[in-house]
Structure 1
Amino acid sequence: MQIVSPRRKRPRLEIIPFIDVMFFLLATFMMVSLAMIKNEGQTVNLPFAKSSSSIERKEKETTITITDKGDIYFNKDQVSIETLPAKIMELKTQDADPRVFLNGDCKATFEKVTAVLDLIRKQGITKIAIQTTKEAKK
């Protein structure tokens, strides 16, 4: 024997949980896409320059970093001032017209930065960008 209910409710589609899931997915994809930004060089406190402008970066570009202690990094690898010309020559053999980003800490000595800049230019690289920030550190 089957008992039939006189008031049969129709199933409802609750939309609020779907909205919650969509916001969660949106936030997740935004965080993942921000994490995919590549930083080729070491993290340093860049100097402040009001006239700085943004440059579109290509897939394969080289960043040479000078830290506040005077350490030199070729992308993520620490190198000495003596081995830097060999690394730059290796870069020139891989790319005929390479672009180099010079990334110097704001507390790095000017002498060290100009020595590295001079080495880069002696190897025949003319596309050199000095990285700065538009906002002053507080």
Structure 2
Amino acid sequence: MRYFETRKARIEIIPMIDIMLFLLVFFAMLTLRMIPSSGQLSKLPTSSTTSTLPAPKLLIEIQANGQLMAEGSSRTLDEIRALIQRQDASKLAVTIAGGEDTSMQRVMDVIDVVKTSGVTQVGLAARHPTR
């Protein structure tokens, strides 16, 4: 009469470990995707009138040598113009980030390209002096 004996219930933890590992990888990838910049700029200029902006839909980084970075790759001004024109410029928020030693003329060139492409929401990245 072995068939009628009750067995003690066991909790299998291996499928639970698989699910937890999948969730860990999923949230790690999601978190990395939410970071808008490539993290190459670490010396933003300071301003006492900084305010927090929502995450930009397009971040343009100006390197110390004048090179432009957008969406993780090096771009020219014409490529940035084409990149903006592929999207709805009226709803696009662009943030321009440059280091302390970035040329002001290069910043103005980028702003001109962004504004002539039809973007109305343009922000400049800066950090507060106390942070």
TM-score, with structure 2 as normaliser: 0.67
Distance 1:124 1:102, change over 3 A: same
Residue 78 of structure 1: aligned partner: 74
Question: 2:128 pairs with 124, 129, 134, which one?
Answer: 134
List gaps (5 residues or longer) in structure 1. 1-28
Question: 1:106 pairs with 100, 104, 108, which one?
Answer: 100
Structure 1 counterpart of 2:122, which letter?
I
Question: What's the RMSD between the two structures over aligned residues?
Answer: 2.5
Residue 89 of structure 1: aligned partner: 85
Residue 45 of structure 2: aligned partner: 47
Instruction: Quote the sequence identity (%).
Output: 15
Structure 2 counterpart of 1:64, which letter?
I
Aligned residues, how many?
A: 102
Matched, 1:122 2:123: no
Q: State the structure with more CA Rg.
A: 1
Distance 1:111 1:136, change over 3 A: farther
Give the structure with the higher percent helix.
Answer: 2
Structure 1 counterpart SS, 2:91? coil
Give the CA deviation at 1:86: 0.9
Structure 1 counterpart SS, 2:108? helix
Structure 2 counterpart of 1:121, which letter?
K
Structure 1 counterpart SS, 2:47? coil
Structure 1 counterpart SS, 2:105? helix
List gaps (5 residues or longer) in structure 2. 1-23
Q: In the alignment, is the contact (CA less than 8 A) between 2:44 and 2:100 conserved in 1?
A: yes
Residue 63 of structure 2: aligned partner: 67
CA deviation string 1:6-28 (max 9, x = no partner): xxxxxxxxxxxxxxxxxxxxxxx
